[in-house]
């Protein structure tokens, strides 16, 4: 017993947390997968736009010149083909993309939209922006929307579900779609963090009624800011066009009368600029290479740590469809996870614990104070007060309403998988995890 205790003490002393040498002394790459790949291809396409002075997709100095092709239009075409959908619409952010999807689907004041407890706050912001209210759904061990919890949240005012393919991994779309069909609900995929991922042979963003992607700088491919709406439904696409462009520049005759009721309505300006489109076009051509590298790195790390006792790996609904931007595993309890997270950071690894109640993180519903407090920019508290007036029931939000989310994330360790990792980096990450596990588990 004494020898075992001495061995454990020696292992702990070897941790960088207690003064030992780092398992990974090499620097980590920032988690900007596409951003760090910006190079000659983006530069050339941007220069072409500048040379043409055609900064707006619908008109400019090159107007009427047959050879001119909008970079935004080119991007939409290549993105549509990449995802495998009939329509792709470039917008200026994923949030505006979600707003576009919601309005296109007929969601507005008095409606409810179900969102997962683990997603960036913008998913909720989009719902509130259209005058609807979010219902927050718990997650399961995939860290995506739990279909069982989802069905319990549906009310007569529910109009849409937004499953989020969180941290690069696909939701379990089959049961979500089945629930939606049963209740006549629209499914809007949030693919902000999983561009290029797939579920059972179909690319994410081609499965629901429509979808929104992000091209913000943290995302797999990026144009700094930007987004895309995808759909296979021609009517939703036309409504999305109206939402994203109040000027109706996309119409052959901007001032033509409506061909059917509710075809023409007031929209916004969510259009993508040509310079942004040029960068996005270069980036979409790099998507497959980025995914291949991240998947290779993740497989290398996993192959060296799968046998460790005490690690429960995140369940993937489709391992082949995972974009591999992150590796998650669960430990026995939150206290151990916090210690483990501190230890791997000290070892120089690109990761740590996924959730701490004392550290604000707008990716976790627990920290969505704007929702918890039903904060509104309007004096009358719209849209929450309007919903309560319609239903006669006060809206209740609580930091404990999604216990599975709180439990899973508080026990989770996450490791970023950057495309620029080398094989040696991957080996050092695996070595660091094994080192910490030997000392703490």
Tokens matching residue 69: 């092709």
Residues 148-173 have a mean pLDDT of 98
Residue 65 predicted with pLDDT over 70: no
Q: Does position 161 have pLDDT exceeding 60, yes or no?
A: yes
pLDDT for the residue numbered 7: 57
Share of the chain above pLDDT 90, in %: 88
Bridge partners of 59, per DSSP, are: 56
pLDDT: which is higher, 145 or 6 = 145
Q: Which residue is catalytic, options 219, 286, 298, 435?
A: 219
Average pLDDT for residues 389-416, to the nearest whole number? 97
Mean pLDDT of 92-121: 98
Mean pLDDT, residues 112-119 taken together? 98
413 CB-near residues (< 8 Å, 6+ apart): 328, 329, 330, 331, 337, 340, 341, 344, 351, 352, 353, 354
Delimit the CATH 3.90.1150.10 region(s) of the chain. Answer: 2-32+287-360+404-440
Indicate the average pLDDT of the chain.
95
pLDDT digits (tens, 9 = 90+) for 239-288: 999 999 999 998 888 888 887 777 788 999 999 999 999 999 999 999 99
- Position 5 confidence tier, pLDDT thresholds 50, 70, 90: very low
Q: Quote the DSSP letter at residue 142.
A: T
Task: Name the pLDDT band for 69 (thresholds 50, 70, 90).
Answer: confident
Sign of CA dihedral 269, 272, 273, 276: positive
HEC profile of 300-316: HHHHHHCCCCCCEECCC
pLDDT band at 63 (very low <50, low <70, confident <90, very high): low
Taking 3-state DSSP, the helix, strand and coil percentages for the chain, each rounded to the nearest 5, stand at 40, 15, 45
Q: Is the model's pLDDT at 121 over the cut of 90?
A: yes
- pLDDT of res. 4: 46
Q: What is the side-by-side order of every strand in the sheet holding 112-116?
A: 87-91, 227-231, 210-214, 186-190, 158-161, 112-116, 133-137
Tokens of 99: 């707003």
| Cα radius of gyration rounded to whole Å, the chain | 23
Output the pLDDT for position 436: 98
pLDDT digits (tens, 9 = 90+) for 168-221: 999 999 999 999 999 999 999 999 999 999 999 999 999 999 999 999 999 999
Reported confidence tier of residue 79, pLDDT bands at 50, 70, 90 = very high
> Which regions of the chain carry the CATH code 3.40.640.10?
40-286
pLDDT of 67 over the 80 cut: no
Is the CB of residue 387 less than 8 Å from the CB of residue 127? no
**d(Cα 384, Cα 375) in Å, to the nearest integer?**
9
Q: What is the assigned CATH class of domain 2-32+287-360+404-440?
A: alpha beta
Q: pLDDT grade, residue 328 (50/70/90)?
A: very high
Q: With a cut of 70, say whether residue 351 has pLDDT above it.
A: yes
CATH classification code of 40-286: 3.40.640.10
What pLDDT is recorded for position 61? 80
| CA 299 from centroid of its chain's CA atoms | 22
**pLDDT score of 418:** 98
- pLDDT over 90 at 42, yes or no: yes
**Quick check: is 219 catalytic?**
yes
């Amino acid at each position: 017993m004494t020898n075992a205790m001495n061995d454990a003490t020696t292992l702990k002393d070897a941790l960088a947390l207690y003064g030992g040498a780092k398992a990974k002394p090499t620097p980590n790459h920032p988690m900007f997968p596409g951003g760090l790949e910006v190079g000659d291809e983006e530069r050339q396409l941007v220069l072409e736009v500048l040379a043409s002075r055609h900064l707006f997709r619908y008109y400019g100095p090159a107007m009427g010149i047959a050879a001119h092709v909008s970079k935004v239009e080119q991007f939409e075409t290549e993105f549509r083909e990449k995802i495998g959908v009939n329509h792709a619409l470039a917008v200026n952010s994923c949030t505006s993309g979600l707003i576009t999807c919601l309005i296109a689907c007929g969601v507005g004041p008095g409606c409810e939209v179900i969102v997962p407890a683990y997603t960036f706050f913008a998913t909720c912001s989009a719902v509130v922006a259209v005058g609807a209210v979010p219902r927050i759904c718990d997650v399961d061990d995939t860290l995506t929307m739990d279909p069982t919890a989802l069905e319990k949240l549906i009310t007569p005012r529910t109009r849409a579900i937004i499953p989020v393919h969180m941290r690069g991994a696909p939701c379990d779309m089959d049961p979500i779609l089945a629930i939606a069909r049963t209740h006549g609900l629209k499914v809007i995929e949030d693919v902000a963090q999983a561009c290029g991922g797939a579920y059972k042979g179909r690319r994410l963003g081609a499965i629901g009624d429509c979808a929104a992607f992000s091209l913000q700088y943290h995302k797999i491919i990026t144009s700094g800011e930007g987004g895309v709406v995808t759909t296979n439904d021609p009517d939703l696409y036309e409504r999305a066009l109206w939402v994203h462009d109040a000027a109706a520049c996309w119409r052959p005759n901007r001032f033509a009368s409506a061909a059917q009721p509710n075809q023409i309505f007031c929209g916004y300006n969510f259009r993508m600029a040509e310079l942004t489109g040029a960068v996005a076009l270069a980036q979409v051509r790099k998507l497959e290479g980025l995914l291949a590298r991240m998947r290779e790195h993740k497989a290398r790390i996993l192959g060296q740590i799968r046998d460790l006792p005490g690690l429960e790996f995140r369940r993937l609904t489709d391992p082949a469809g995972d974009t591999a931007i992150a590796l998650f595993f669960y430990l026995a309890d939150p206290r151990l996870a916090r210690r483990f997270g501190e230890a791997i950071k000290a070892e120089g690894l690109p990761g740590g614990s996924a959730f701490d109640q004392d550290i604000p993180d707008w990716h976790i519903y627990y920290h969505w104070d704007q929702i918890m407090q039903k904060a509104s920019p309007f004096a009358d508290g719209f849209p929450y007060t309007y919903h309560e007036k319609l239903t006669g029931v006060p809206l209740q939000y609580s930091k404990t309403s999604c216990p599975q989310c709180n439990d899973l994330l508080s026990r989770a360790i996450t490791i970023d998988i950057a495309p620029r990792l080398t094989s040696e980096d991957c080996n050092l990450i695996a070595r660091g995890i094994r080192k910490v596990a030997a000392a703490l588990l």
